[in-house]
């Protein structure tokens, strides 16, 4: 028994050692944004969270509405659903507006909704870039993954938004990393305004 416990603790320590720690980048108006390096990439991953006065079911409905992404997800100029939800899985196409002088990006994402114990949800997001033809005047983001986590807590919902994407093409890393904080912050802020005004 002691041997099994020792091996388990050693394995957990090894995993923890191999992962970079999250660094708090912004803490404002109840929204926190963290970033951390990703092994083998110059682009960081972000994680943001806040609490909203809305049920997980109401939030899920908004997150599942691909046609409405431009109303609250930062930098989204256009989006549409490529498939109807099937067994809680659906595919969306998204166009992202970039600063002047930088080619706009687009991506194709598969969303898988998983029901959690206690009434929450996890929406896993992964790139499926080859599920929609590449568009003229856009650079296709091929590497992207993350999730949304909706957890009911004391009459509110804790929402966690974690994501990584490699923007591809010739785009300075400092520009990419600049959007890693304001992007998720503005997204959660806009999502809050949809429910709280």
Which domain CATH number covers 190?
Answer: 3.30.530.20
Helix-helix angle 173-196:56-63, to 10 degrees: 130
Asked if the structure places residue 5 within a domain, the reply is no
Domain hosting residue 30, numbered range? 21-196
pLDDT at 78: 97
pLDDT at 1: 52
Asked if the structure places residue 80 within a domain, the reply is yes
pLDDT at 19: 62
Contact between residue 11 and residue 3 where contact means Cβ atoms under 8 Å apart: no
Confidence of residue 11 (pLDDT cuts 50, 70, 90): very low
Asked if the structure places residue 146 within a domain, the reply is yes
Confidence of residue 196 (pLDDT cuts 50, 70, 90): confident
Contact between residue 105 and residue 97 where contact means Cβ atoms under 8 Å apart: no
Say how many domains are in the chain.
1
Is pLDDT of 116 > 80? yes
Asked if the structure places residue 16 within a domain, the reply is no
Asked if the structure places residue 124 within a domain, the reply is yes
- The better pLDDT of the pair 101, 138 is held by 138
* Cα-based distances in Å from 187 to 116, 126, 160, 184: 23, 19, 12, 5
pTM of the model: 0.86
* Cα-based distances in Å from 59 to 24, 80, 106: 25, 18, 24
* Cα-based distances in Å from 76 to 23, 46, 72, 73, 127: 26, 17, 8, 6, 16
Is pLDDT of 56 > 90? yes
Is pLDDT of 17 > 50? no
- Per-residue b/e over 124-151, b at no fewer than 16 CB within 10 Å? ebebebeebeeeeebbbbbbbebbbbbb
């Amino acid at each position: 028994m002691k041997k099994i416990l020792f091996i388990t603790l050693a394995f957990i320590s090894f995993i923890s050692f191999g992962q970079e720690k999250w660094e708090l980048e912004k803490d404002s108006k109840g929204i926190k944004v963290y970033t951390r390096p990703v092994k083998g990439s110059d682009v960081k991953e972000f994680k943001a969270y806040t609490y909203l006065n809305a049920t997980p079911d109401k939030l899920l409905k908004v997150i599942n509405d691909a046609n409405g992404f431009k109303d609250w997800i930062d930098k989204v100029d256009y989006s549409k659903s490529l498939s109807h939800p099937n067994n809680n899985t659906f595919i969306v196409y998204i166009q992202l507006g970039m600063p002047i002088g930088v080619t706009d990006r687009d991506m194709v994402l598969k969303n898988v909704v998983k029901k959690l114990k206690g009434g929450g949800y996890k929406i896993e997001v992964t790139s499926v870039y080859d599920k929609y033809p590449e568009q003229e005047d856009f650079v296709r983001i091929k590497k992207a993954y993350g999730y949304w986590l909706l957890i009911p807590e004391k009459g509110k919902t804790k929402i966690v938004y974690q994501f990584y994407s490699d923007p591809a093409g010739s785009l300075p890393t400092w520009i990419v990393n600049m959007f890693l904080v304001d992007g998720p912050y503005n997204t959660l802020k806009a999502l809050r305004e949809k429910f709280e005004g």
